[in-house]
Amino acid sequence: MRNFKYLNWVIYLVVMVGIISFLGWGKPTKIIGLFFVSGLAVGSLYALGGIGMVVLYRATGVLNFANGAAGAAGVMLAWQLGQWGVWAPLTWLACILLALAISLTYGRLVAPRLAWREPVVKAVATLGFALIVLGIVSFLWIDDPRTFSLPTDKVGVYILGLRVTVTRLITFLASVSIVVGIYFYLSRTVVGLQMRALANDRDLSALIGIPILKVETIAWGISGVIAGFTGLMFGDLIRLEPTVITFMVIPSVAAAVCGRLDNLALVLIGGLSMGVIESLLTLSQTLKGVRPIAPFVIAAIVLIWYQRGTRLTFGTKD
């Protein structure tokens, strides 16, 4: 089994090097580096979205499609407060708090009433909630061109001769730090162990006295905070448009699938790989049109590779 894992990593490295070499063939090294770094930043956002989904799914069994909408609402509020002259750090905090409030609202008022329904029903319910949030956001802020920037956009560091903005560094380091932090939280704290127990068997967890509502509320809270931070970074690095940010959840799902809705490290690697490949596809006149579907193709290939000979299920029971 260990040799099999090593083989997987060797194949992954060979494939990634091959893809980067193919897409960057004939291009200046500096140009390839710029697109690579840009891809890491975008991939970090995909990974963050996927991490939030996996943490929640492991604790509650809910595949939450409303994360993007919560982040979109949060960053639009931050933008509006900025227009009113509110101190910038307070606008960032407001973004995260609004996303947290939206996540907890669903987690406490709606999710418990669907706790015993099929995973597909619970997932579709979150999609409906996302559309409601998006509708409210679109009503409050009409579709006009807007920009949102952070002070860290103006500060850069040089890495191997390439200037990288601090915003991109923060996004990448945050994704890595969150994976490490959540790993230790799940393995070293009482609540983390309770979350793992819920993921294994909800019925048994209830019988042995685990406070399910409390544990699930914490999971929804973690997911909401990650959604707010991701929306804030997405509005700065990509585009400040509620619809685009809301449906950022789709490549995040693909990243989560790469981790089989369980392994946070694989979610991180999957998200980063998707971002890099999607960015480098821009260099190809022939293939740049397939950028929007790149995350799903990658996720499908990963599933086919890891699930050969077995059956993938998204429910808690077969």
CB 59 within 8 A of CB 198: yes
In a domain, 189, yes or no: yes
Distances (CA, A) of 40 to 33, 37, 275, 277, 303: 10, 5, 6, 9, 22
202 within a domain of the structure (yes/no): yes
Q: Does the structure show a pLDDT above 50 at 114?
A: yes
Query: What is the number of other CB atoms lying within 10 angstroms of the CB of residue 238?
Result: 14
DSSP of 128-151: HHHHHHHHHHHHHS-S-------G
316: in domain: no
139 is a domain residue: yes
The verdict on residue 277 lying in a domain is yes
Helix (H/G/I), strand (E/B), else coil: 276: helix
Is position 15 within any domain? Answer: no
Domain count, the chain: 1
7 part of a folded domain = no
Residue 160 has pLDDT above 70, yes or no: no
Higher pLDDT, 231 or 213: 231
- Is 317 among the domain residues? no
**Is residue 73 scored above 70 in pLDDT?**
yes
Where in the sequence is the domain holding 188, given as residue range(s)?
A: 41-306
79-87's contacts with Cβ under 8 Å and 24+ in sequence apart are: 79/146, 79/148, 79/235, 79/240, 80/141, 82/148
Mean per-residue pLDDT over the chain, rounded: 85
87 close to 248: Cβ distance less than 8 angstroms: no
Measured between alpha carbons, how far is 237 from 168 in angstroms, rounded to an integer? 8
User: Over the stretch 183-194, which tens digit does the pLDDT of each residue have?
Assistant: 888 888 888 888
Indicate which CATH number applies to the domain containing 275: 1.10.3470
